Structure formats: C-alpha cells, structure tokens
C-alpha cells in the first residue's frame, strides 16, 4: 500500500491561477490579485473565499491582467497592468506566492513618444541567453486605436533594454501569451481590429495563433485557428501527465471562460463543455502555471484552512455555540472536513463531526463499522456511506468528508470509499452549535438522543473552505499513516 501511495504522489500535479475580478462588461470590478487552484487545469477552486490575496500599491493601486512565472533565480516574478495609463507596468517578486515584495513601476515605454497605455504584460525566460523577454501591448498617438506588441529584455529586473516593436501583423492586437512546443514558439494573441476599425475588419474580436522558430520572432499567423467571438486574454497551460496543452480564454463581456485542448499546438479541440470546466465567479484575464505540492500545501493552509485543532482529544469537543456567523454557521458550496481517528470500537453510532441540524448542516460518523457522511440543505438530505472494513480498531487512520456543489465524497486512508450526488449545490446558513467527537443537539443525520460520543482518540481536525481533491487528501496524510 505504501509503495502505491508513493507512486500516486509522484504523479500528482498542481496548478495555480492568478486573476482579477469583474462582472460582465467590466462591471463590479475588484482589481487586485486573486488565486484559485486546480489538479487538472480544467476545474479551478477559488482560494481565500474569492477575495484578494494581495493588493497593489503603485499607481492608483490597480492590478489587472496579472502574469506570474518562476524565474531562473527560483523566485516568482509578477508583472501586471496598472493605472493610470501610460508607459509603465507593475512588478513584484515572491519566494512563496504569499508574500510579494519589491513592488515597483517599470516604465518600459518611456523612450517611445506618445505612449498611451501599456497593457497585459507577460514574460518568457530565454534559455539561450538567460535573459527575460518582457512583452506587452501599447498604443501610441492620440488614443487606443494603434495597439501593437513591444518587448524589452532584462537579467535582473532592474535594468532593461530599450523597448522595441515585437509583433505587428498589420492590425490591432493585445493580450499575447507565448509557449514553446517541439522547438517552436507559439503565441496566442487577441485580434482587436474590429473594435476600432469595424468597417475594415467586420469579424468580431477573438484570439488567433502565431508561430516562430525563435522566442524573439518574427511571428507569423497560423492559418485556420481562432477562438470563439468576443474572447480575449489567452493563456497556455501544459498538462504533463496527459501530454496536452490547454488554451484558456476570457469572454470578458459575458463573464465566463472557455477552454480548448491540443497535443501539438496545431490541431485544437472544440471548446470544452462548461460541465467539464469550473472557473471562479467573475474571474478575469487569468495567469495559469504549475506549482509544487509544497507550494500548494502552503497556499491551502493560508487561504483555505478555516480551522485546525491539532491536539489529541478523547471526549466531545464543542467548537461553536448558537450563532449566525462563523465557519460552522455560514452557508457554503465547498467544504472539506479532515481528521485523524483511533477507534477503540467500530460498533454502534459514533459522531466524528457535527455541524448544523436537520434543516441545514453537515456531519460525519461511524455506524456499525461503516463510515457515513451527510449533508442537509433546506431539509433535503444526502448521505454517502462506505463499506465495512475500511477502518481498523486501535490504529490511527485519516478520514475526510468533502462537499463540492452537490457532490458528497468520503475518504478513508486517502482512498475514496463512497460518493453521492444531491439536487442542491448550497448548504444554507445554520445556527445550531457544533463540534467534533460527538453530537451537540440534533445532527444532520436526524438524530438527537445523547452525545453519540466517539470512543477513541481524535487529532488534527481540519476544516477547509474548498472541496479538496483526491490528491490533496492523500498529500495531507502523514507518511506514518500511509
């Protein structure tokens, strides 16, 4: 079993998304850095409750179009669009994706007369020279109707080569993103020509591909490819274990994202069905990139962990009393409860976690040797029950209960032992007291007689505001328990 766990861990992959938020047509703007994470690049789960994780202070304190990449120095570098418009972009650096420092304004277009804006910067590390190629869209003249892509090079993010024209296909472009595949470089970029010259360019704004043999170009359009109408902000993501590229793009006017797949950067799938993808509400113009298991663990502990009780206990522990706010009272669509248990017996009914009541709530218990989880919403009930034999007496074991927008999953020892699907996606706010190791009133299973105390020891109880995935559950289990 341990060897199998090791193999599974080696195959695990994690990805992070950075974005700012706005509603359809740039309404309801929250122009700061937000995070979401994914295990497959298609379904992304918001961290920090979809609230900002970092606020910019340069310019007008606006952060749009963030792009984050790991540098040759091992640090994370971020560039982003700032206001006011003009010759500059924003920059910051981080060791851990949590603490951002050295925030600066980089006036990369200061030597180009009449620069109106500097939008959606990104960068690539040139393996041949060790330099960073930073590229962005700028318009020069009287307004935004002359956008082209410019670029500059740097080794230290302090000194830069003069900005030079990087990509000009003869029409307006913004939002470029570059990835290397098979020794060639591919750039996805938005065709913005219709916005300012609709008569000359009657097609709607969308993204197209260009390719080059060298990072610095020249790039030539790849015929036969375009994303759907009214899309922008294309971003590539390589899914190593599948050998596939994903292309994510933003329907900025409609407040949603689309995705396509390819194995060779030339032949692309149709847009994936929305049922196969998940993007945080109001996420806009995202950057997506792989991160390590350790980095993800730190991010989950910082931005998703609502409560942790590490101490070993042998009796019911009250966590909340009657109330209208707090993690055991608030409504939720995503939730994970994970804990370690050492049962003295598997017989009878023993409550491991109790939150809410028979109207709205969540609970986890042992019942005659079976692990059972339940969720309630507006009186509706969903139960997931494992088979007997998944747990042992007298040994520490890890168990978890996950609710994800209507789906309930049960885990024992890192393996999923049961799942069920409900018609509801949200558990509404609930006022009853709760805790772990016993029942605190009427639980979500519908029982109310006695404490139904757990007979044994409980430790390291954790509650997360995200629906942890199978890889996450496995990663949190101590090696000694695998």
Classify domain 12-300 by CATH architecture.
5 Propeller (2.115)
Which tokens hold the place of 157? 């993010």
User: What tens digit of pLDDT does each residue of 365-391 get?
Assistant: 999 999 999 999 999 999 999 999 999
pLDDT at 4 (0 to 100):
42
Q: Give the 3-state secondary structure of residue 357.
A: coil
Q: Which residues of the chain have pLDDT under 50?
A: 1-10
Number of H helices, E strands in the chain: 4, 31
Q: What distance in Å separates the CA atoms of residue 410 and residue 402, rounded to the nearest whole number?
A: 7
CB 137 within 8 A of CB 144: no
Percent of the chain with pLDDT over 90: 95
Give residue 11's pLDDT.
Answer: 62
pLDDT in tens, 121-171: 999 998 778 899 999 999 999 999 999 999 999 999 999 999 999 999 999
pTM here? 0.96
Distance in angstroms (rounded) separating the CA atoms of residues 267 and 181:
13
Q: What is the DSSP letter of 303?
A: H
Output the CA–CA distances (angstroms, integers) from residue 280 to 34, 176, 286, in the order listed.
10, 22, 11
Q: Which residues contact 112 (CB under 8 A, 6 or more apart)?
A: 87, 138, 140, 150, 163
Beta bridge partners of 403: 335, 408
CA proximity to 172, closest of 201, 152, 151, 199? 201
So where are the chain's domains? 12-300, 305-481
Report the topology of domain 305-481.
Jelly Rolls (2.60.120)
Q: What is the pLDDT of residue 8?
A: 43
Task: Give the strands of the sheet with 30-38, arranged side by side.
Answer: 45-46, 30-38, 14-21, 283-291
């Amino acid at each position: 079993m341990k060897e199998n766990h090791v193999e599974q861990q080696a195959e695990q992959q994690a990805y992070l998304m950075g974005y700012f938020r706005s509603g359809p047509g740039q309404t309801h703007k929250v122009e700061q850095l937000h995070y979401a994470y994914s295990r497959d690049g298609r379904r992304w789960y918001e961290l920090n409750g979809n609230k900002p994780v970092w606020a910019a202070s340069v310019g007008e304190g606006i952060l749009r179009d963030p792009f984050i990449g790991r540098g040759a120095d091992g640090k994370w570098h971020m560039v982003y669009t700032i206001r006011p418009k003009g010759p500059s972009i924003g920059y910051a650096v981080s060791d851990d994706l949590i603490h951002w420092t050295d925030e600066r304004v980089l006036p990369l277009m200061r030597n180009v007369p009449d620069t109106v804006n500097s939008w959606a910067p990104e960068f690539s590390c040139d393996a041949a020279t060790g330099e960073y190629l930073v590229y962005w869209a700028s318009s020069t003249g009287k307004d935004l109707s002359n956008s082209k892509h410019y670029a500059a090079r740097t080794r230290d993010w302090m000194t830069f080569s003069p900005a030079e024209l990087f990509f000009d296909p003869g029409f307006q472009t913004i939002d470029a993103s570059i990835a290397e595949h098979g020794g060639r470089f591919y750039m996805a970029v938005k065709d913005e020509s219709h916005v300012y010259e609709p008569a000359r360019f009657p097609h709607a704004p969308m993204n197209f591909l260009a390719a080059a043999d060298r990072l610095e170009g020249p790039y030539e359009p790849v015929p036969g490819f375009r994303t759907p109408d009214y899309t922008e902000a294309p971003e590539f993501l390589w899914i190593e274990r599948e050998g596939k590229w994903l292309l994510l793009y933003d329907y900025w006017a409609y407040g949603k994202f689309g995705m396509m797949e390819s194995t060779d950067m030339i032949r692309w799938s149709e847009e994936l069905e929305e049922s196969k993808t998940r993007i945080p509400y109001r996420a806009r113009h995202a950057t997506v990139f792989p991160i390590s298991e350790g980095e993800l663990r730190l991010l989950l502990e910082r931005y998703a962990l609502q409560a942790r009780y590490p101490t070993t206990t042998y009796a019911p522990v009250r966590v909340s009393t009657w109330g209208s706010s707090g993690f055991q009272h608030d409504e939720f669509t995503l939730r994970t409860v994970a804990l370690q248990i050492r049962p003295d017996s598997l017989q009878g009914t023993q409550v491991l976690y109790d939150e809410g009541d028979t109207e709205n709530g969540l609970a986890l218990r042992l019942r005659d040797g079976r692990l059972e989880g339940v969720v309630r919403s507006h009186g509706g009930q969903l139960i997931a029950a494992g088979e007997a034999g998944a747990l042992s007496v007298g040994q520490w074991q890890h168990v978890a209960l996950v609710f994800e927008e209507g789906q309930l999953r049960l885990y024992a020892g890192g393996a999923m032992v049961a799942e069920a699907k409900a018609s509801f996606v949200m558990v509404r706010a609930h006022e009853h007291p709760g805790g772990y190791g016993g029942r605190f009133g009427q639980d979500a299973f519908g029982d109310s007689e006695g404490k139904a105390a757990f007979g044994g020891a409980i430790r390291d109880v954790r509650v997360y505001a995200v629906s942890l995935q199978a890889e996450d559950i496995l990663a949190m289990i101590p090696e000694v328990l695998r």
